[in-house]
Amino acid sequence: GAVVSQHPSRVICKSGTSVKIECRSLDFQATTMFWYRQFPKQSLMLMATSNEGSKATYEQGVEKDKFLINHASLTLSTLTVTSAHPEDSSFYICSAGVHSGISYEQYFGPGTRLTVT
Amino acid sequence: EDKVVQSPLSLVVHEGDTVTLNCSYEVTNFRSLLWYKQEKKAPTFLFMLTSSGIEKKSGRLSSILDKKELFSILNITATQTGDSAVYLCAVEALGSGGSNYKLTFGKGTLLTVNP
């Protein structure tokens, strides 16, 4: 089946530093990848949709200069949280979209827990 | 704005009980409704529903969609402690940009199954 990996699984960083999270589709090519954020006891909130080779589409309220997304290849998308603050601490999950006839199926990565101190 | 509402938000049952989880939605350009199970990490896929009235089954889990009334239910029969998780409902619809389909998630139902 389709497998999506994320790295790192857990990261602790200091306020003001930047953190890069990688999302890879291991056994398939994903033209579209999605980045979500999940706060404790909340649902997944879509941050941005990333298409290979083009600029990401950000959801309302998500700062594109703070959350830099690069989707340079069909198997890799990265999310960089720039100048991280404690309020950016969250669980970040990516998913990769695969066309299956009538619809996308989205396969989720295992998530990255970011803690900003 | 697309909206997905799940109920109840939490539920505690005993092993062997049957549970029904609800999901209602308001979206434009609906394509499909999906159910996921989330334990400690990322969600794992359960069902995708695109047509009204057709029940999907997988073991003790089943789900059905009503596109007229805009809701879906997820049933779990003979619950086990391993069913304890957050169950997320998501609706796939065309994004505002018009070129990508995106998922809008509900807040989830936290199911606790006690022995």
**Segment A54-103, tens digit of pLDDT:** 889 999 899 999 999 998 888 999 999 999 999 999 999 999 987 766 66
Query: Which one of B42, B50, B88 has the shortest CB-CB distance to A102?
Result: B50
Is it true that the peptide bond before B8 is cis, omega within 30 degrees of 0?
yes
Q: Give the per-residue pLDDT at A117.
A: 96
Strands B109-114 and B10-14: parallel
Any B CB within 8 A of A74 CB: no
Strands A90-100 and A112-116: antiparallel
Intervals of chain B under pLDDT 50 = none
pLDDT digits (tens, 9 = 90+) for A5-51: 999 999 999 999 999 999 999 988 888 899 999 988 888 999 999 88
Minimum Cα–Cα distance from B90: chain A residue? A44
Strands B61-66 and B71-76: antiparallel
Q: Give the per-residue pLDDT at B55.
A: 92
Tokens of B72: 């879906």
Using CA atoms in the order A19, A46, A105, A20, what is the torsion angle rounded to 10 degrees?
0
Q: Give the per-residue pLDDT at A101.
A: 63
Q: Assign B3 to helix, strand or coil.
A: strand
> Which segments of chain A are extended strands (E)?
4-7, 10-13, 19-25, 32-38, 45-51, 57-58, 67-73, 76-81, 90-100, 103-108, 112-116
Q: Give the per-residue pLDDT at A100.
A: 66
Q: Tell me how far apart the alpha carbons of residues B19 and A89 are, in angstroms, rounded to a whole number.
A: 34
For residue B43, the 8-state DSSP code is -
Q: Give the per-residue pLDDT at B96.
A: 65
Sign of CA dihedral A82, A87, A89, A90: negative
Give the residue numbers in B contacting A (CB under 8 Å), as ranges. Answer: 31-32, 36, 41-45, 48, 50, 88, 90, 92, 95, 97, 100-108
Q: Give the per-residue pLDDT at A102.
A: 60
Contact list, A34 vs chain B (CB under 8 Å): 102-103
Tokens of A51: 């298409």
Contact list, B88 vs chain A (CB under 8 Å): 43-44
